[in-house]
A and B are shown apart, each in its own frame.
With several copies, the nearest count.
Chain A
């Protein structure tokens, strides 16, 4: 079981690294979104500072959401998804492998690069720490929830939008607590409660999302 799990995760990582796009795509998107804002909003320091948590978190959320839209689609189109479904191990385990790879390729780099982008906005060191911690748990939760949406809408005609509509209500709490953590530190309060809630959110989705995703994939292949 572990072997199949590792195999799937490694396959996705290898594919992404080979295409480069998938890794870079999200990162570039994240960097672009955060850097376009100063261009659009104008160079006023205080304004940018106040906007920082919102901009960073919205950008991270969008980056994660957009990259998720196509997590199963290529496999569906070229027939490898049906091969996964015909594999010996439970599909939900393989799905965790795929989601894990996705997170390693998007959530993690995003978290790692965020301190640099935060510098643009003059955030204090503690706030940056809260940002990273929040993103670590938050992006993982986003990947898990997003995968359910992506699987549900696989092969459906209205694909992309529907997934967004299904997934967004669940994304919003992540956004609010995530941006809240940064804001709390900036205004001199502790970020702990926010971060704990994010952690709980992550664990809950870890327990339920893979099963839901696997079921949705079987339905899509039918």
Chain B
């Protein structure tokens, strides 16, 4: 092989390798590779069993109940299709509100209740003043989007 040809061969091989790599990445994103699981996934048994994992979704309106002991909180996490009850002992983040996003880390109990060690608030990418927000909420009342 002449030096020129050799060089082309090497560059070609490099590019081909990169192409295959890109293919693998795309294939990987077809599967679930996630920071948290949604209630639907849990319902479909796609979430880990007997192991600590994260669950994400919206706090269902009116579901937050503080227990007698004052530190334990129960609420329901939903992705509008399915929902999972969550139990948590500890202090909640400021942004924890009903109807807002939440991510909780913990284990799924045998009774289907998710026992959380940590609760984080997740918000979306929308920033707007309260008045505008109210207006938007009015308009979109029915179609509440599932957070990504």
Contact = CB atoms under 8 A, between A and B. Distances in A.
B31 A196 contact: yes
Given A187-B53, A193-B32, A200 B10 contact: no
Contacts of A192: 28, 31
A211 B7 CA distance: 12
A90 B6 contact: yes
B18 interface: yes
Contacts of B51: 183, 186-188
Contact of B18 (A44, A189, A203): A203
30 contacts: A1-B6, A43-B105, A44-B117, A90-B6, A183-B51, A184-B48, A186-B48, A187-B48, A187-B50, A188-B48, A188-B50, A189-B32, A190-B31, A192-B28, A194-B28, A196-B24, A196-B25, A197-B25, A199-B21, A200-B21, A200-B24, A200-B25, A200-B28, A202-B21, A203-B17, A204-B17, A204-B21, A207-B14, A207-B15, A211-B14
A218 interface: no
A1 B1 contact: yes
Contacts of B15: 207
A204 B18 contact: yes
Interface in A163-222: 183-184, 186-190, 192-194, 196-197, 199-204, 206-208, 211
A93 to B, nearest CB: 7
B10 A93 contact: yes
Given A186-B48, A188-B51, A189-B32, 6 more contacts: A44-B52, A194-B28, A204-B17, A204-B18, A206-B17, A207-B21
A202 B105 CA distance: 31
Contacts of B53: 187
B24 A42 contact: no
B18 A45 contact: no
Contacts of A183: 51
Contacts of B33: 193-194, 197
Contacts of A45: 117
Contacts of A92: 10
Interface size band for B: 20 to 34
Contacts of B50: 187-188
Contacts, number: 73
B17 A90 contact: no
Q: How large is the interface on A (under 10, 10 to 19, 20 to 34, 35 or more residues)?
A: 20 to 34
Interface of A: 1, 42-45, 90, 92-93, 183-184, 186-190, 192-194, 196-197, 199-204, 206-208, 211
A207 B18 contact: yes
A129 to B, nearest CB: 17
Q: What are the nearest 3 A-B pairs in CB distance?
A: A187-B48, A203-B21, A187-B51
Contact of B20 (A44, A90, A189, A203): A203
B21 A193 contact: no
